[in-house]
Amino acid sequence: MNNPFDPRTTALRSGYGGYTVERNRVLRNTYTLLAISMVPTVLGAWVGLQIGLAQWMMLNPGMGMLVFFAGAFGLMWGVQRNSNSGTGVALLLAFTFFMGMMLSQLLAMVLGLANGTQLIALAFGGTAVIFGAMSVLATMVKRDLGGLTKFMFIGAVMLMVVGVANIWLKMPSLMILFSVAAIGIFSVFMMIDVRRVLDGGETNYITATLAIYLDLYNVFVNLLSLLSIFGGQRR
């Protein structure tokens, strides 16, 4: 039995306590910044609707895709490069604003439905429920998730290829399968990304927020797409 007055035991406990405090600080800051990031996302979506970005993207799908990839990957690169400074926070909020603008195409289509507002609220609530469930699951899972992470990453890459192809194919059945798979994959990624913070594998709250935000964004977009397909009411 360890002697509670042994200096080595005291140091061990002190180190573990410091690790726990640091882990909780990263998780708290991540959730706080994640909540704040919703504001520029909503603002970006509103701006996109006001300037007619949705119509432009519908008329120019190829150019819209290039703008999306250039803006998204460029800002993500900037966030990663500046993740240890206030500039990283500013770039993250700029990224969420941009992603909100890109969301305007889907929102314009859904708002054109008689129950569009209700579908958006339902998708938001469903995403929140999934996030809560995955966060709780992340605290319960004790196994190493390295193999699962690799499998999910391969799935995400395949989804990207299918999504780009379907811009021109426009196959409704493929879109439904894509959305179902995306919800499953990015829900699992939520658990993995929260678990990484809990395990101490992610110690930067800016990059942690970026990862979880992308999970939430993809689940929301694909859940809203499914709801509009199966529950949308024409005017």
pLDDT band at 11; cut points 50, 70, 90? very low
d(CA 77, CA 207) in angstroms, rounded, equals 11
User: Where do the structural domains in the chain lie, given as residue ranges?
Assistant: 20-231
Half-sphere exposure of 89 (CA within 13 A, CB side): 11
Spatial CA neighbour of 152 closest among 173, 127, 126, 134: 134
d(CA 97, CA 40) in angstroms, rounded, equals 5
Q: Please report the pLDDT score of residue 18 as a whole number.
A: 55
- Per-residue pLDDT of 170-201, as tens digits, reads 777 878 888 899 999 999 999 999 988 888 88
- Per-residue pLDDT of 63-81, as tens digits, reads 888 899 899 999 999 999 9
Q: Please report the pLDDT score of residue 38 as a whole number.
A: 96
Q: Please report the pLDDT score of residue 167 as a whole number.
A: 66
Q: Please report the pLDDT score of residue 14 as a whole number.
A: 42
Query: For the residues 42-67, what does the mean pLDDT come to?
Result: 89
Report the predicted TM-score, pTM, of the whole model to 2 decimal places.
Answer: 0.86
Half-sphere exposure of 130 (CA within 13 A, CB side): 23
d(CA 216, CA 218) in angstroms, rounded, equals 6
Q: Please report the pLDDT score of residue 173 as a whole number.
A: 80
Mean pLDDT taken over the chain: 85
